[in-house]
Amino acid sequence: MFLQMMKKAILLAAVLMLTVSCGEYQDLLKSDDSGKKYSYAEQLYNEAQENGDKRKYRKALRLFEQIVPQYRGKPQGEKLSFLFANTYYELGDYYLSSYEFERFQQSYPNSEKVEEAAYKKARSFYELSPRYDLDQTDTNKAVTELQAYLNTFPEGEYVDRANEMATELRIKLEKKEFEIAKQYHLTGEARAGNYRAAITSFTNFLANNPGSPFRESAQYYRFDSAYRLAINSFRSLMEERLNEALEFYETYKKYYPEGEYMAPMEASAEDIKSRLQNF
């Protein structure tokens, strides 16, 4: 019985403290005292950093939003601007965090926090990067920002992770380019001109992405597009196109003699050679 009464008393005290705290916070939001707002916002931010409490980040953010303009150009402005940007970052509001980190870099280029700001700005765009099949504006921006970080801080604290993210995003961009070319190939039977578009797209892909994990598949689909285009061509165009397909086969064979697509390509190559004997 006594234990239950103690638990209720502790719970009641906690509720009362929370109520008083909320009331003080609401009063502070309405206050004109920038100094108190700064102190309390920093306290909330530090507590949130310790335990990852998103509610405290959000409460700190409301105060930061009110006072940041008042401190720009003042001694406290540098620290406050970084905390403001990082609060958006911790809350996952990456559009605003990237904007505020950019602003911080421009305003305080000699700050000891400028490297972290550059990295987190780039990472904000990385977090915004969508699936490969969607618009890749943010992905391209992330790659640009990550490369800028790596160029500016080649021995920086976040170099390894920045390289990993940049590689991941480049592969995503390569996959999008590859899949667009592959779509031309897959629709070529319905529209013969798409085979020619596929050949051009895969050729460009191979030229632009020398280290891509999709290179072998691109070599195969380029050959297969050329083969299918050739065998469905008018006779006046067929010989030239068959020879072009055969060249693509030889290129694949040179780089991937034991490749995944070797068997079906050899069968197609034999058919090409048989057809060329008729010319």
Assigned domain for 158 exists:
no
pLDDT at res. 83: 98
What's the predicted TM-score (pTM) here? Answer: 0.84
Assigned domain for 258 exists:
yes
Q: What is the CATH number of the domain that holds 269?
A: 1.25.40.10
Q: Which residues of 28-39 are buried (b: 16+ CB within 10 A; e: fewer)?
A: beeeeeeeebbe
Compute the distance between CA of residue 6 and CA of residue 8 in angstroms, rounded to an integer: 5
- How far from 92 is each of 10, 65, 66, 191, 198, CA to CA, in Å? 34, 16, 20, 45, 39
Assigned domain for 202 exists:
yes
pLDDT at res. 1: 52
Compute the distance between CA of residue 121 and CA of residue 102 in angstroms, rounded to an integer: 7
Assigned domain for 70 exists:
no
pLDDT at res. 4: 56
pLDDT at res. 15: 38
Assigned domain for 199 exists:
yes
Determine contact, residues 123/145, Cβ cutoff 8 Å. Answer: no
Task: Show the domain range for 235.
Answer: 187-279
Q: Which residues of the chain have pLDDT under 50?
A: 2-3, 5-6, 9-10, 12-20
Residue 91: which of 119, 60, 50, 136 has the closest Cα? Answer: 60
Assigned domain for 264 exists:
yes
The total number of structural domains in the chain stands at: 1
Assigned domain for 45 exists:
no
Assigned domain for 171 exists:
no
